[in-house]
Amino acid sequence: MKRQKEFLRIICPNGHLGFAPTKEESFQAGVETRPDYYCCDSGSDDIGPTPLGSDVSVSPRQWQKHDLELMLLAARKQNVPMIIGSAGDTGTNSRVDMYLEILREIAAEHKLRPFRTAYFYSEVDKNCLKRKMEAGKVIEGLDGRQPLAPAELEATERIVAVAGVHPFIKALETGADVIIGGRSSDAAIFAAAAIHEGFPEAESYYLGKVLECASFCAEPYGGKESLIGTITAEDVKVTAMHPNQRCTVASVAGHAMYERSNPFFEYFAGGALDMTNCRYEQFDEKTARITGAEFIPIPGKIKVKLEGAGKVGERYIGIAGIRDPYTIRNIDRVIDWAKAQAAERLNNKNYRLFYHIFGKNGVMSEMESVKEIKSHELGIVVEAVADSKEIAQEAAIIGIRQIFYARLPDVKGTAGSAAFILDEVLPASPAYRWTMNHTVEVDDPLELFKIHETVI
């Protein structure tokens, strides 16, 4: 698209919409700059596989409504687009529908004029991947994973594809006022707006990379504060909106290069963002300026990332606290005893028992050669996973109570093994695991992301 504007200003109010409520003071400061777009990522795989597998959000609905309301009212008042990706933490179909429902509530409560809304789903049917595999397609693993095997596909409860810029650009081309996306690349949400407006891919993707976590690229540290990103054909500028935060060369460069095996490359569908030659300078007190990013096209088929989660079992937990010095020194023996008692009682039952020990390493002596434990107390979380809730509950009860009954040498009577135990174990969410962190080849970048339109 031919560029019509000399610069484009995008506000990001929150690094993960709804995960903790957006701070309103800095958001309103950003609104006063009259940004061209209101954009926000609403999801992450940092939250683990359980929300995807069980198809739930990890934050209260009212927090997500709070953030959506701030953005929608400001965007509609200015009559500029609003873009949300990875709706409801995971970007599953039900989370997209939930966000559409929240938008309708907000529009009715504030009597907003009708606005055009585009949305897309990201869930992928297992049969779709099965057909590709039967046709000889290899669904390649990421981060050392093997290619997807039929057994792992069968064990998967739910799959989402991670959208790039393409469905967002398509939705903008249809004239959408608001876009709600399924699971999406964090950076693509912002890059799509800039690319749609005709700005270069390199600067657009860098803009997305630096804006995706909002105020995490500012100093001093402070989450959930708004950030303004400004793009031109030559550079990207990022400005902190909180009165006490600054975007500095160190804070912005540090954020841009974290959480990847190669800190200078970020891969997207169709190419990679090369930050090797990026130059950072302090533009003003609160703003850092970045130049020199490059976008390198990667020839061949377009690949889309897939995330999948499969259920491991039902889960119960218990909590124990230990202060007896002798028991603390022998905690490994205590855990071995408890596990053995569970195995004896639950013989032939399918269960797993995990012990998470907090404070075990203690406070070491100032002399590095002294390795004795100095902790006066240990906290132990006992986690039991099994096929049924009943077995998981029983395993958790045995696993925690047998800490108290552990038979240690040199203990006379019960005097030496005093432990505080929260005896009532608690039901927890089912346990899931990541079954898929893979890529699939597609002929069309929109193949897995059909755009829908409605008026709210």
| Region of poorest pLDDT, from 79-88, 128-137, 354-363 | 354-363
**Are the C-beta atoms of residues 255 and 216 closer than 8 Å to each other?**
yes
Among all chains, which residue has been given the structure tokens 């090797």? 276
**Are the C-beta atoms of residues 310 and 432 closer than 8 Å to each other?**
yes
| Region of poorest pLDDT, from 44-53, 98-107, 422-431 | 422-431
Overall average pLDDT of the 422-442 stretch: 91
pLDDT confidence bin for 238, thresholds 50/70/90: very high
Structural domain boundaries in the chain? 8-122+162-299, 312-434
- pLDDT digit string (tens) for 179-230? 999 999 999 999 999 999 999 999 999 999 999 999 999 999 988 999 999 9
Overall average pLDDT of the 306-325 stretch: 93
Other Cβ atoms less than 10 A from the Cβ of 232: the count is 17
- pLDDT digit string (tens) for 353-380? 999 998 876 543 344 444 455 678 888 9
- pLDDT digit string (tens) for 188-197? 999 999 999 9
Overall average pLDDT of the 250-275 stretch: 81
**Are the C-beta atoms of residues 71 and 152 closer than 8 Å to each other?**
no
Overall average pLDDT of the 444-453 stretch: 94
pLDDT number for residue 369: 43
pLDDT confidence bin for 163, thresholds 50/70/90: very high
Q: In the predicted model, what is the mean pLDDT of the chain?
A: 91
What is the spatial distance between Cα 438 and Cα 141, in angstroms, rounded to a whole number?
4
> In a 3-state reduction of DSSP, which class is residue 452?
strand
3 pLDDT above the threshold of 80: no
pLDDT number for residue 366: 43
**Are the C-beta atoms of residues 334 and 327 closer than 8 Å to each other?**
yes
Alpha helices in 79-222 (DSSP H): 93-109, 126-134, 150-154, 166-173, 186-196, 201-211
For residue 30, the surrounding DSSP H or E stretch is: helix 24-31
Q: Which CATH class is domain 312-434?
A: alpha beta
Overall average pLDDT of the 47-56 stretch: 96
Cβ partners under 8 Å of residue 60, min gap 6: none
